[in-house]
Amino acid sequence: MKINDIPVREVEENYVNIHPIQAAGRLTAEAMKALIAYGDGYSTCDQCRKPFRLDKITKPPIAEFHSDLAKFLNMDEARVTPGARRAFQAVCLSLAEKGDIVLVSALAHYTEFLAVENARAAVKEVPLNKDNVVTGDAVAQKIEEVTREEGKKPALVMLDHFDYSFANEHDIAGAAKAAHQYDVPILYNGAYTVGIKPVDGKALGVDFVVGSGHKSMASPAPSGVLATTSEYADQVLRTTQMIGDVTGRKFGIKEVEMLGCTLMGANLLAMMASFPTIQRRINDWQEYVAKSNIVINAILDIKGNKCLSEHPRKHTLTKVDTTGSFDKIATTHKRRGFFFSDELKQRGVVGEFAGATRTWKLNTYGLTWDQTSYVADVFKEIAGKYDLL
Amino acid sequence: MKINDIPVREVEENYVNIHPIQAAGRLTAEAMKALIAYGDGYSTCDQCRKPFRLDKITKPPIAEFHSDLAKFLNMDEARVTPGARRAFQAVCLSLAEKGDIVLVSALAHYTEFLAVENARAAVKEVPLNKDNVVTGDAVAQKIEEVTREEGKKPALVMLDHFDYSFANEHDIAGAAKAAHQYDVPILYNGAYTVGIKPVDGKALGVDFVVGSGHKSMASPAPSGVLATTSEYADQVLRTTQMIGDVTGRKFGIKEVEMLGCTLMGANLLAMMASFPTIQRRINDWQEYVAKSNIVINAILDIKGNKCLSEHPRKHTLTKVDTTGSFDKIATTHKRRGFFFSDELKQRGVVGEFAGATRTWKLNTYGLTWDQTSYVADVFKEIAGKYDLL
């Protein structure tokens, strides 16, 4: 099937998908309906009235969604953004400038680096402990080191709760306490938490919570959320001060870092449509973690395999090392590493990095119990076929 | 009909819509299919391979679309962005910094102001001539004035081909010539042209062409395009230079101002799906302008009405003044200005600003010939009912 020259995507219809970044971004049925109803360009603007800002629109209930989002994350203000990266960008541009240092984790996602670079500031990394985890002490130590070397403290700390590489859990509450001892604001990167597990910004003590709609909130790309406290709202959500020198024009309450109206159209409405499901499903997080451990333990039952992420798992995303098993087969197989993809696909499982048989990632988020047993069995079955058990 | 608490939007299904910003952003059937097929979060990433950048993906044909887009605008490089405003932002952040001046038109859209403010630079406006048009001479004069006052020339000129207020045509080629005489780069804001009329960046002599997917390219929000020349690509599409101080990590060819991967998912695929239609429909522009003049002339047949935009119309978006006609009725009608919206809606026409009977805008883009006569007749019929003819 094709739309013009575009192949129709049928991954979620025909397979069990364990792709590391796709699992929690699959749409709900409600989101799909919202996409269809609000697909047209400026579909959200039918009832836009004074003060002419997207997050104030009440029909459809966009204003209410914004306030629900803030409550959901236990923060004071929330805005939707075209992806988590655009939220990092807004915070970096408003808090950091040329010559400033922003601290990120040694496992930070590249978009955090780019957001800092975009603000003409520079990144320094907080090192990991021996378990590949960022601790509060490491944050404190790095703040001191940077302050000593640069003659001023960092402008911001950005820290992932679960990182994109191992999905290890990092000590956000400890990091927030450390950052605040030095009066440095801290951004919580919840790209791998917001929308799948409960997140309480105030309890963690962070100044910003960022989430990804298309990664973890069952929403289309691009979509994301930026939440903050009353303390930082004035700065990061500052309204325009520009005045036209010829016309005297002013632009009211349009927010500079949001570039006025933020995420609109189908993506916003799909986020809204998925939100009731999101609010429910975060309560099932421990069930999904348990399923993750079932699959990972099955992989570990195969001789030579290792789990590179912390174990037992606290997340559904995991990095495994199959150099001692599947990769041995790949070295002599005529399809090389693709033999493994072929075997998985024949059994209806996709989403691993095609051709990779050394270190690779999988995400079991959203699997039913039946699918969990099935995926666990598939790995063992393939191992059995190649005498790896 | 509702999706959870979200009313289902049925504007395009049930009415002729003359909304000023919605007309050219209605999806094609192909775009709607693409939305459905690629709605899931990271749907575009199935076949992402080295060098891991969205615009290099060949399945679906995203890379090809990027090169087609550049050709379509007769520029050297193109990137998709989450809306035209994000393209303004990318150019402003890379070309302007604190203390710099960026010139915009006295009819500039507010998002241009915000993009400049976002880069901590400041805006100055180029005045209009007596016909509410920006000329090359006015641009030259303002560059000289700013250079004299500030001790340095402006960092950038941003100019709308057709402005958002009157949709008057401004002298882009003249402005480009003027800007380049002073060695100032110029950005062409084609939010009201790219996707509905032919745009030739090289012929106009501009350094950047920006278009809006959701305004004029039959695409969902947010979507947009930034095209540039080889000369400016290195600067505006610069790749990351950050290196992790602890890990030594680098991030290859990720582009700083694009924040790595740009517009993804359903929105990008819908843009791609609409593109063959877009390429065809720009050739019908004069037909749509003719239809616009039919409707506007019918409005002008009503006693007391004025066309605030230049006339005859060169665009489908128009600002009219009905203070001398419909507004007179509104002053004594129990529904005030809403009487006019009621009368239009009863006749199946929506999209004017509800309640406004003084100055308001309409956009006839996309109307068939039958719909054109019908809408023209509707205005006259309402005028007749209230003895305004």
Q: In which element (H, E) is residue A160 found?
A: strand A156-160
**Domain A43-263 classification at class level:** alpha beta
The reply to whether B328 touches chain A by the CB within 8 Å rule is: no
Pairing of strands B359-363, B317-321: antiparallel
The reply to whether A349 touches chain B by the CB within 8 Å rule is: no
The reply to whether A127 touches chain B by the CB within 8 Å rule is: yes
Q: Which of B117, B242, B257 sits opposite A113 (nearest CB)?
A: B242
> Residues B110, A260: contact at Cβ < 8 Å?
yes
pLDDT at B4: 86
Question: Residues spanned by CATH 3.40.640.10 within chain A?
Answer: 43-263
Could you read off the pLDDT of A157-209 as tens digits, one per residue?
999 999 999 999 999 999 999 999 999 999 999 999 999 999 999 999 999 99
Amino acid letter, A38: Y
Spell out, as residue ranges, where chain B has pLDDT lower than 50. none
A 47-86: CB under 8 A from B: 59-61, 82-83, 85-86
pLDDT at A1: 74
Q: Which of A3, A86, A213 sits opposite B273 (nearest CB)?
A: A3
Question: Residues spanned by CATH 3.90.1150.10 within chain A?
Answer: 2-23+284-385
> Residues B361, B22: contact at Cβ < 8 Å?
no
A 180-219: CB under 8 A from B: 213-215, 218-219
The reply to whether B21 touches chain A by the CB within 8 Å rule is: yes
Q: Is A246 exposed, middle or buried (0-12, 13-18, 19+ CB in 10 A)?
A: middle
What CATH number matches the domain at B2-23+284-385, 3.90.950.20, 3.60.20.10, 3.40.50.9100, 3.90.1150.10? 3.90.1150.10
User: Which residues of A fall within a CB distance of 8 Å from B89?
Assistant: 259
A356 to chain B: nearest residue by CA? B49
The reply to whether B33 touches chain A by the CB within 8 Å rule is: yes
pLDDT at B28: 97
Query: Tokens for B242?
Result: 């950050």
pLDDT at B123: 98
Q: First CA to last CA across chain B, in angstroms?
A: 40
Residue B182 distance to chain A (closest CA, Å)? 21
pLDDT at B266: 95
pLDDT at B285: 98
Residue A278 distance to chain B (closest CA, Å)? 13
User: Which residues of B fall within a CB distance of 8 Å from A82?
Assistant: 82-83, 86, 222, 263
Could you read off the pLDDT of B281-338 as tens digits, one per residue?
999 999 999 999 999 999 999 999 999 999 999 999 999 999 999 999 999 999 999 9
Per the DSSP assignment, residues forming a β-bridge with B350 are B17
Q: How far apart are CA B294 and CA B300, in angstroms?
A: 10
ipTM score of complex: 0.97
B9 to chain A: nearest residue by CA? A37
B346 phi and psi, to 5 degrees?
A: -60, -30
> Residues A211, A191: contact at Cβ < 8 Å?
yes
Is the pTM here over 0.95, yes or no?
yes
Mean pLDDT of chain A: 97
In 3D space, the residue among A20, A110, A199, A91 whose CA is nearest the CA of residue B241 turns out to be: A110
B246 to chain A: nearest residue by CA? A125
Full DSSP string of A24-70: GGPPPHHHHHHHHHT-STTGGGTT--TT--GGG-TTTTHHHHHHHHH
Q: How far apart are CA B356 and CA A56, in angstroms?
A: 20
Q: How far apart are CA B241 and CA B250, in angstroms?
A: 7
The reply to whether B123 touches chain A by the CB within 8 Å rule is: yes
The reply to whether B17 touches chain A by the CB within 8 Å rule is: no
pLDDT at B389: 87
pLDDT reading at A389 higher than 90: no
pLDDT at B1: 74
